[in-house]
């Protein structure tokens, strides 16, 4: 893999991680189209780039995260009832994450090798496009804030996020649809969706940590660092872009893109 290919792969991973277009699908599609070889690291390389995306969302939501952590600790240690909302919000995120990991694993085992077939990816991209249309035209905007979220909402959103184990199903798109279907406001749905990416990406990274250490025990080459930095920068851009597009009700553009790419993938790459 050349440095230019590494830069491009980092761009694809970063910009598509938080946009509702599925980063995993784009990595598979563009590696096939451009015949980019990531070497022996393969899935481990993708996880490495996910770490860059994780750092991006941690940086962007650092104040929000700090408040949640401080508030939750204050509630647990000092029994400060004024911080109960922060503790409850974190608890709901953990419930969603557990549901995602359990159902996602079951989906992986059920779909087996077909999960990365281009036919599956093409169909999943079309489904993502439908999700995005539903966000703007099919799901009425709710008014519920964080304090009005329930355990049922957390479970439902966790189920939505689990669908993203299928390349082509956007994690951002599926969690936003699920959150809005629960009657959450756009602001709350966006915040919950972004923050929910932190434990799930962290969990995937920890599970793959032995492989990461083994693959990179002899050092990380320049191409991987280029891909990592590129992914980090464009993930930040992707976060700001999605927030802006949801607020301005312009997700239909992404819907058209996903459906078009899904059809192209289905027709020409299968």
Residue 226 pLDDT more than 70?
Answer: yes
Distance CA 122, CA 257 (A): 12
Q: How confident is the model at residue 40 (pLDDT cuts 50, 70, 90)?
A: very low
Q: Which of 179-193, 216-230, 241-255 has the lowest mean pLDDT?
A: 216-230
Distance CA 262, CA 20 (A): 14
Is 169 strand, coil or helix? coil
Distance CA 106, CA 104 (A): 5
Q: Which of 173, 133, 139, 144 is nearest to 157 (CA)?
A: 173
- Span 128-138, pLDDT tens digits: 999 888 887 77
Percent of the chain with pLDDT over 70: 93
Please tell me the predicted confidence (pLDDT) of residue 44.
66
Helix (H) or strand (E) holding 56: helix 43-60
Residue with tokens 């991209």: 125
CA-to-CA dists, residue 161 to 3, 38, 177, 179, 199, angstroms: 33, 27, 10, 10, 12
Q: Which of 13-27, 41-55, 250-264 has the lowest mean pLDDT?
A: 41-55
- DSSP-assigned letters across all residues of 204-266: HHHHTHHHHHHHTTT---HHHHHHHHHHHHHHHHHHHHHHHHHHTT-THHHHHHHHHHHHHHH
Average pLDDT over residues 104-117: 83
Instruction: Say which residue, 267 or 58, is predicted with more confidence.
Output: 58
């Amino acid at each position: 893999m050349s440095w230019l290919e590494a830069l491009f792969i980092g761009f694809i991973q970063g910009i598509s991680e938080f946009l509702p277009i599925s980063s995993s699908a784009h990595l598979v599609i563009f590696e096939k189209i451009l015949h980019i070889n990531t070497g022996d690291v393969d899935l481990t390389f993708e996880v490495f780039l996910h770490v860059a995306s994780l750092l991006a969302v941690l940086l962007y939501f650092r104040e929000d995260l700090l408040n949640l952590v401080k508030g939750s600790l204050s509630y647990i240690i000092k029994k400060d009832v004024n911080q109960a909302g922060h503790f409850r919000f974190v608890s709901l995120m953990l419930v969603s994450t557990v549901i995602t990991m359990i159902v996602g694993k079951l989906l992986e085992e059920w779909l087996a090798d077909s999960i990365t077939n281009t036919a599956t990816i093409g169909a999943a991209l079309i489904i993502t496009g439908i999700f995005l249309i539903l966000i703007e035209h099919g799901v009425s905007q709710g008014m519920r804030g964080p304090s009005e979220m329930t355990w049922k909402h957390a479970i439902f959103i966790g189920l939505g996020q689990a669908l993203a184990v299928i390349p082509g199903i956007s994690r951002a798109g599926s969690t936003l649809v699920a959150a809005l279907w629960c009657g959450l406001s756009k602001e709350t749905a966006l915040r919950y969706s972004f923050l929910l990416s932190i434990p799930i990406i962290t969990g995937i990274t920890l599970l793959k940590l032995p492989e990461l250490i083994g693959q990179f025990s002899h050092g990380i080459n320049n191409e991987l660092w280029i891909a990592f930095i590129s992914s980090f920068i464009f993930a930040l851009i992707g976060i700001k872009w999605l927030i802006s597009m949801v607020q301005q009700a312009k997700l239909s553009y992404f819907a058209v893109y996903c459906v078009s790419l899904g059809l192209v993938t289905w027709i020409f790459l299968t």
